[in-house]
Amino acid sequence: MGESANGTPVRPPPPESPLRNSKYSKVIVVDNFFSGTKDNLKRWMGHPHFEIIRHDVTETLLVEVDRIYHLACPASPIFYKHNPVKTIKTNVMGTLNMLGLAKRVGARILLTSTSEVYGDPLVHPQPEEYWGNVNPIGVRSCYDEGKRVAETLMFDYHRQHNISIRVARIFNTYGPRMNIDDGRVVSNFIAQALRGETMTVQAPGTQTRSFCYVSDMVEGLIKLMEGPVTGPINLGNPGEFTMLELAQAVQKLIKPSARWEIVDNTPDDPRQRKPDITKAKEILGWEPKISLAEGLPLMAAEFKQRLEISDKK
Ligand code: UDP
Ligand code: UDP
């Protein structure tokens, strides 16, 4: 038994599992399908190294694994505000359970935290050292304060129980196979333009976001998991756009006749957001490869295909 800083006995880090050296990794997906769909996993069903468990992380989970990617929690504001108590339970009890699991089996655990921990940031772009500007009692708090507690739990289990942790702070991400009615801005604008509907730019339209293509994000997460540091590390694409610029890009790509209108915004919407990714570049050798101009058409083509199929039904 080792000794932690506060004197509590801790287990030594586990030896490398033989699974890690085997030719094929085995993947167990755990999902309650609140915002996701089994359709996205169809291609893997029946694969001998793949398994799905329908489960809610707010309940105890017993599996034997050596890496845990703890991604659970709706990330679209309309989904996470739909049942805020459930959202905060997922972030607090879900993270606690995944940490308890990591502790029991000696697995390394990665938390997908969020740029929302910076709130409506007063520092721009946001480096990891920035503590954020977050409303603790607002309608977004179940998500952003929830993820802040999740980060705290990760670091307390690390310090107190010697758990091997990784924390990623993910900035806005988009790509094919997103839920068409997810409610976030890129999927909304693409779906609206394809359906011939008016794009809904929330006021004032000059607020900014930085959009990362999904395959870049997945590569960043794997590099962080297998890399040398706990984080937190920002993962995102530093290309920054206003929502009006995004609407124009979607119009140019899909339909010159596509229109937008300014609609009401929701409370506490961050006015600007752009990651400082110096750490990810220097420590993980990671930076995004796909610009918004390259990624949007890939997503639009896949959305078009799915919309054509669902319209025929
Ligand atoms: N837990 C889990 N799977 C496991 C081990 C633990 O889901 O394989 C859950 C367990 O139900 C508990 C939480 O993780 O609520 C925290 O576990 P820990 O051992 O850290 O705390 P304790 O059970 O001692 O409160
Ligand atoms: N937004 C918009 N139209 C929409 C949905 C969102 O203009 O139909 C804006 C929203 O006000 C915010 C930005 O797009 O400023 C990003 O919102 P999203 O819900 O995609 O993610 P967030 O970064 O807020 O989590």
Percent of the chain with pLDDT over 90: 89
Predicted ipTM? 0.96
pLDDT (tens digit per residue) in 267-283: 999 999 999 999 999 99
Which atom from ligand 2 is nearest to the alpha carbon of 207?
Answer: 15
Number of CB atoms found within 10 A of residue 90's CB: 25
Average pLDDT, the chain: 92
**pLDDT at position 4, please?**
40
- Per-residue pLDDT averaged across 159-165, rounded? 98
Residue 18 pLDDT > 70: no
Residue 15 pLDDT > 50: no
Residue 131 pLDDT > 80: yes
Protein residues whose CB sits closer than 6 Å to any atom of ligand 2 = 77, 172, 184-185, 188, 200-202, 207, 209, 243, 265, 269
pLDDT (tens digit per residue) in 207-226: 999 999 999 999 999 999 99
HSE-up (13 A, CA, CB side) for residue 133: 12
pLDDT (tens digit per residue) in 240-265: 999 999 999 999 999 999 999 999 99
To test the pocket of ligand 2, the residue of 140, 182, 209 to mutate (highest count of ligand atoms within 8 Å of its CB) is: 209
Q: For the chain, report the end-to-end CA distance as a whole number of angstroms.
A: 61
Which atom from ligand 2 is nearest to the alpha carbon of 202?
Answer: 7
Domains, the chain? 15-308 (3.40.50.720)
- Residue with the smallest CA separation from ligand 1 atom 18 is 100
**pLDDT at position 23, please?**
55
Distance 246 CA to ligand 1 centre (A): 44
Which comes out higher in pLDDT, residue 312 or 157?
A: 157
Which residues sit opposite 3 in a β-bridge? 9
Distance 13 CA to ligand 1 centre (A): 18
Least confident among 78-82, 84-88, 120-124? 78-82
* CA-to-CA separations, 91 to 57, 86, 97, 148, 184, in angstroms, rounded: 9, 9, 10, 9, 20
Distance 131 CA to ligand 2 centre (A): 22
Residue 173 pLDDT > 70: yes
**pLDDT at position 25, please?**
82
Q: What does 214-231 look like in DSSP terms, one character per residue?
A: HHHHHHHHHHHHHSS---
Which comes out higher in pLDDT, residue 19 or 77?
A: 77
- In angstroms, the CA 49 to CA 187 distance is 31
